[in-house]
Structure 1
Amino acid sequence: MEVVVGRVAKAHGIRGELAVDVRTDSPDERFAEGAVLTGKSRNGGTTRLTVAAARWHSGRLLLRFEEVPDRTAAERQRGLLLLAEAGELPPIDDPDEFYDHELEGLRAELTDGTVVGTVREIVHSPGGELLSLDRDGAEALVPFVREIVPEVDIDGGRVVLDPPEGLLDDGGETAGAPDDAAGPDEPAR
């Protein structure tokens, strides 16, 4: 299984460097010279990329890949997701932190045990992380904070939610939930 460790934001300079939005806590390890990543384009196509160089510039990681020789080739990489093998990720020591792939697919249930959906993905927004729940084909976005998600039970395959009134649009399972509730649109806590 592969997990997202970055996203190409744009080309930088004329030598084929790429400005990358980092989505890993260990960028020096993930993007070390010689590291091989998978690039996944918006249309689902994939390509293998080998890190030739990495450096920080104005708070953003700049990468150069062996397979991207110049600015023209770099421009074609915009929006590319950078993936690494999940098995190669270091273990997390903090019990309140999780990799996105550990949460995806977990059953979402209320504190009383009522199942309200499945975690589709983790959305990383400027305001914090959100759980994107699949609720019978509809999406519900839930802030991934302890007050609303008091328990994450990876081994039990579930996350427990204690949502405020109106957060979930669930046809009446949560008292007072409006029919058109929606939230903003990535790891965790």
Structure 2
Amino acid sequence: MTSSRLTVARIGKAHGLRGEVALELRTDIPEDRLAVGAVLDTEPADRGPLTVTRNRVSNGKWYVQLDGVGDRSAAEALRGVELVVDAEDSDEEDAWYAHELADLRAELEDGTVVGTVKGLEHLPAHDVLVLEETDGARTLVPFVTAIVPTVDVPGGRIVLTPPGGLLARDAANLDVALPEPGETDAEERG
């Protein structure tokens, strides 16, 4: 197993006047990673390390107080900073850290190479893979089993079954009749 930097959370808005911050979690074990006394490195590195002095959960949202962050201004100055730890590669069958997915070859079921995974983004609905297609186009691919049925980290690849038009290479081949300049739907219905 290899070790890499894992983002535990991203610091969000200041909460209250005494330096508490809201967190955007990136871990499924926040009670361990954000325990009182936990010392977390930061990205950018010059903003930390930071020590958790208090934590709480309210309406499913995590809030922490960090050592040396005593007011709202200091808390706001940390907005966007990532809290990171060293972590081993995931040993779960259907779970991967972003660093494990980076630089995997993306191919279709027939073996056609369509690009390289450049990262993972966390969106509200679900995570998306950032794919750099072979022509350089940047495409966001929903990281769901229906579209990414195979993740083969040891083999250095993922397999995609994208719906038509998801990849830029497919969008260029779509046969769509576009209206001529100045032409509208109302004129066509005439």
TM-score range, shorter chain: 0.7 to 0.9
Structure 1 residue 118: Cα displacement: 1.1
1:26 equivalent in alignment to 2:25? no
Is residue 40–residue 83 contact of structure 1 (8 Å, CA) maintained in 2? Answer: yes
* Gaps in structure 2 of 5+ consecutive residues: 177-190
Distance 2:170 2:146 in 1: 23
Deviation per residue, 1:82-124 (Å, 9 max, x gap): 211123x7x543x222222221221111111111111111111
| Distance (Å, rounded) in 2 between the aligned partners of 1:162 and 1:177 | 20
TM-score by length of 1: 0.81
Structure 1 residue 77 corresponds to structure 2 residue 78: yes
Q: How much does 1:70 deviate?
A: 2.1
Task: Say how many residue pairs are matched.
Answer: 172
Report the RMSD for the aligned CA atoms in angstroms: 2.3
Runs of 5+ unmatched residues, structure 1: 179-189
Provide Cα deviations, 1:112-145, integer angstroms capped at 9, x if missing partner.
1111111111111112111110225431111111
**CA–CA separation in structure 1 for the residues paired with 2:131 and 2:51:** 34
| Deviating more after overlay: 55-64 vs 135-144 | 135-144
Cα distance change of structure 1 residues 75 and 134 upon mapping to structure 2, 3 Å threshold: same
- Percent identity of the aligned residues? 47
Counterpart CA distance in 1 for 2:156 and 2:37 is 36
Taking the aligned partners of 1:10 and 1:177, their CA distance within structure 2 comes to 46
Q: What residue in structure 2 maps to residue 166 of structure 1?
A: 165
C-alpha deviation, 1:152, in angstroms = 0.6
| TM-score, scaled relative to structure 2 | 0.81
Q: Residue 182 of structure 1 corresponds to which residue in structure 2?
A: none
Deviations 1:122-173 (A, max 9, x none): 111112111110225431111111111111101101100111111111278x
Amino acid at match of 1:125: L
Greater share of helix: 2
CA contact (8 A) 2:47 2:81 kept: no
Q: Which runs of 4+ in 1 moved over 3 A?
A: 174-178
Equivalent residues in 2 for 1:1-189, closer than 5 Å? 1-41=4-44, 45-87=46-88, 91-93=90-92, 95-135=93-133, 136-170=135-169, 176=174
Contact 1:165–1:177 (Cα < 8 Å) also in 2 = no
Q: What SS class does the counterpart of residue 147 from structure 2 fall into?
A: coil
The 3-state SS of whatever aligns with 1:140 is strand
Alignment check: 8 A CA contact 1:170 1:177 kept:
no
Q: Which amino acid aligns with 1:170?
A: R
- Decide whether the 8 Å contact of 2:108 with 2:161 is kept in 1: yes
Match of 2:185 in 1: none
Amino acid at match of 2:58: H
